[in-house]
Structure 1
Amino acid sequence: MLRFATAGESHGESLVALVSGMPAGVPVDAALINRELWRRQQGYGRGGRMKIETDTAHILSGVRHGATIGAPISMVIANRDWENWREILPVEAGDVSKHKAVASPRPGHADLAGSLKYDFADARYVLERASARESTSRVAAGAIAKLLLAELGIEVLSHVVRVGRAELERDATWPEIAALARKQEVVLGCVDEEAEARMKAEVDLALRTGDSIGGVFEVVIHGAPAGIGTYANWDERLDGILAQAVMSLQAVKAVELGRGVTAAESLGSEVHDAISYAGLDSSEAEDPARHTRFTRERNNAGGVEGGISNGEDIVVRGYLKPISTLRRPLASVTYAGREETKAAYERSDVCVVPAAGVAAEAMVALAFARLLLEKFGGDSLRELKRNYNGYIDQIRAY
């Protein structure tokens, strides 16, 4: 089984990603991993921390001569800001007088709930691990999963569909999403320049008023075959697995597959995707990203029906709440005296929707790669490809 774990704190010495269960023989491109980390750092509305960090992954194990060897893969991403926190957050006892307490919990953050749970006198240690800085490790792990999926012709990318009240009012095409990921400059990760300009105005307004702003990102799995996931058991349904993967990200408060939200207020005839069949001589049948001749005019289901992928692009949306740290803080109470005050302020972002989309790509890639390995097995890439290609031949001939 493909598994991953992360370790590290926001202002600690480094972040760690551990991936196990990868078959041997998967080519590993360190530049691609670092490109993914770079993409996570981009976006209009990011804070000062991203000016300090230049995230790169240092692979310690599990990769030799440019390919996986079947052993656990461990990676370290250094925190450059650690130099400013070395005496504040030492591993050893250190000087307690240098501790930088979070004096009052921030509404919307894990501060208060975490302090109550772990019996901390302030929220410093809660903040350090609950921070979205942790998603850096997920992106590194997800890049490994993406490398595996790419060997099977499957890609996972994201784009932004809404920031505040500004929204992309049309569907994005796969070529547009792919082109967006190749850009060397990222504004808000939207495929439409006019919509992106309106989104940027929403961020500017939040910035001027000392506020923060959320939005919606969309993750697409392109080239996914039909038959991944199952309705047989509740915890094996693909939609549930993907929803949990995306919902686990910091600040995500809702997850949608396809047109899940608007489907609830629509008639069945407006929602369900009519089925047709493409003959051998049709362009749809020749598309290398398609593995079945059954086609749909629409993809309102988001590529998943009955907990199983149906051969269309899998579309997952994450709804991101505004960042909890505000430059004009909300009301709170002090930890020390339980007195009324304003919430603590920590250097933060105004908008992180594009970055959250990249982190969600990683989670979706990891979840989908795990399901593929569970279905097709293989201790080596060659064995996995043989099993996978045999299944693709089967569903193409159906």
Structure 2
Amino acid sequence: MRYLTAGESHGKQLTTIVEGVPALMPLTTNDINESLLRRQKGHGRGKRMQIEKDLVDIAGGVRHGYTLGSPIAMVVKNDDFKHWQDIMGEEPIDLDQEIRRTVTRPRPGHADLNGAIKYGHRDMRNILERSSARETAARVAAGAVAKTLLKHLDINIIGYVTEIAGIKANEPENLTIQDKIKVSEESPVRSLDGKAGQKMMDAIDQAKKEGDSIGGVCQVYIEGMPPGIGSYVHYDRKLDARIAFAVQSINAFKGVEFGIGFEAARRNGSEVHDEIIWSEQQGFKRRTNHLGGFEGGMTSGMPIVVKGVMKPIPTLYKPLQSVDIESKEVFNASIERSDSCAVPAAAVVMEHVVAFEVANALLEQFPHDQFPKLKAAIEQYREEVRCF
């Protein structure tokens, strides 16, 4: 599978085209909309989430609730475009016409200045409209297709928050993945720890009051992946590497780790590697899961556990210093959005980009023109693995 997104933050719409989805897979707009609406939730979001109600229109590739095997086209319209048409419209304008809300002051932490230098734009709105995290709605739509595929293969995935502003959540023991889905959905910050969740919300409120922003750590947890998915043969087919790339590509993400991650550098090898055990009922397993479900670039059959670090959003109500690219005068950077913390929403985005990479790896390894044949092949493989 592969996907392409198009559209600007305040443009007419966001468009996603996903290619390579097997034919005859059940898929409805509700499968996509559920994910899009989850992305808009979370304590600390700004007024933009009240303006835009992201709902998808499937414009191709699906008929009567099933995929056709052709590219799937999805559109999310921007309800607020009517207020931005003169600014973001595609038609040429008169040379003497002044464009409203041009941007010549690059904001620290954004793509504004680097993008203007790269593409030669003097109005940096041409940069910030596309580099905006608004684009992640289109990526969530693509990931929702992948999540639907995984669900029908009995593979479950959830993204939640483990830390905000240094406040760490304690994950209760023995939670099933269904428990994690339920608890995280009920939490305004997608935390599995109610007490920590309240402290996180207090920290977000304080940051907003001070005109500041805060970041945190998201975690994605996947159950049901069979072992041996990925590859040790080529560097670009290692599944953990592909997941790391996908997570790192999310706006404002600055780090990725699997399992105990960087903690492994502070432990002895005997405390890191997962001992192998075997039972006739389950086949091979690991006694622990310190490596987050991966060995040698391939799944081990244990749950996949991956964390992503999100920096604080760089747009602040107490703007940082910048320099106007035209006058070269010092100014305070402009404000384009008002989220004080987007970590809960980012957990949903991370969940979906990881889902896409995992689903894609399965399609590469098994026959995938028709979904029923893909499902049968994976079920047969699971039985072979159990009896290995």
Report the TM-score, using the length of structure 2 for normalisation: 0.96
Shift, 1:99, TM fit: 3.1
List structure 1 segments (4+ residues) > 4 angstroms apart after TM superposition. none
Q: Distance in 2 between matches of 1:325 and 1:274?
A: 46
Alignment of 1:135-150 (within 5 A): 135-150=136-151
Provide the residue aligned with 1:24 in structure 2. Answer: 23
The reply to whether residue 322 of structure 1 matches residue 312 of structure 2 is: yes
Shift, 1:171, TM fit: 5.9
Give a deviation string over 1:195-244, Cα, whole Å, max 9, x none.
Answer: 10111122122111111111000011211110111111111111111100
Alignment of 1:1-398 (within 5 A): 2-94=1-93, 96-170=97-171, 173=175, 174-180=177-183, 183=185, 186-280=187-281, 285=282, 293-398=283-388
Give a deviation string over 1:7-63, Cα, whole Å, max 9, x none.
Answer: 000000000010010111100132121110000000000001001011000000000
Q: Distance in 2 between matches of 1:374 and 1:269?
A: 34
Q: Distance in 1 between matches of 2:194 and 2:24?
A: 41
Instruction: Decide whether the 8 Å contact of 1:165 with 1:202 is kept in 2.
Output: no
Provide the residue aligned with 1:289 in structure 2. Answer: none
Shift, 1:310, TM fit: 0.1
Q: Distance in 1 between matches of 2:105 and 2:215?
A: 23
Instruction: Decide whether the 8 Å contact of 2:190 with 2:344 is kept in 1.
Output: yes
Amino acid paired to 2:362: L
Give a deviation string over 1:126-180, Cα, whole Å, max 9, x none.
Answer: 1000000000001111111111111111122111000011111346632332213
Secondary structure at the aligned position of 2:86 is classed as coil
Amino acid paired to 1:221: I
Secondary structure at the aligned position of 1:255 is classed as strand
Q: Distance in 2 between matches of 1:178 and 1:90?
A: 40
Secondary structure at the aligned position of 2:18 is classed as strand
Instruction: Decide whether the 8 Å contact of 1:103 with 1:344 is kept in 2.
Output: no
Q: Distance in 2 between matches of 1:37 and 1:186?
A: 17
Shift, 1:186, TM fit: 4.5
Q: Distance in 2 between matches of 1:247 and 1:63?
A: 31
Instruction: Decide whether the 8 Å contact of 2:20 with 2:69 is kept in 1.
Output: yes
Q: Distance in 2 between matches of 1:274 and 1:195?
A: 32
Amino acid paired to 1:175: Q
Residues 240 and 188 of structure 1: is their aligned pair in 2 closer, same or farther, counting only changes over 3 Å?
same
Instruction: Decide whether the 8 Å contact of 1:158 with 1:357 is kept in 2.
Output: yes
Shift, 1:297, TM fit: 3.1
Q: Distance in 2 between matches of 1:156 and 1:142?
A: 11
Give a deviation string over 1:298-325, Cα, whole Å, max 9, x none.
Answer: 2110000111100000011110011010
Q: Distance in 1 between matches of 2:141 and 2:5?
A: 10
Instruction: Decide whether the 8 Å contact of 1:89 with 1:99 is kept in 2.
Output: no
Identity %: 45
Give a deviation string over 1:328-349, Cα, whole Å, max 9, x none.
Answer: 0011001221111111111231
Secondary structure at the aligned position of 2:98 is classed as helix
Instruction: Decide whether the 8 Å contact of 1:122 with 1:335 is kept in 2.
Output: no
Q: Distance in 2 between matches of 1:140 and 1:238?
A: 21
Secondary structure at the aligned position of 2:82 is classed as helix
Give a deviation string over 1:264-317, Cα, whole Å, max 9, x none.
Answer: 11111221122222233xxxx3xxxxxxx2223321100001111000000111
Provide the residue aligned with 1:288 in structure 2. Answer: none
Give a deviation string over 1:69-120, Cα, whole Å, max 9, x none.
Answer: 1010001000111111011111011364133112311111101100110111
Instruction: Decide whether the 8 Å contact of 2:39 with 2:346 is kept in 1.
Output: yes
Report the TM-score, using the length of structure 1 for normalisation: 0.94
Q: Distance in 1 between matches of 2:31 and 2:379?
A: 25
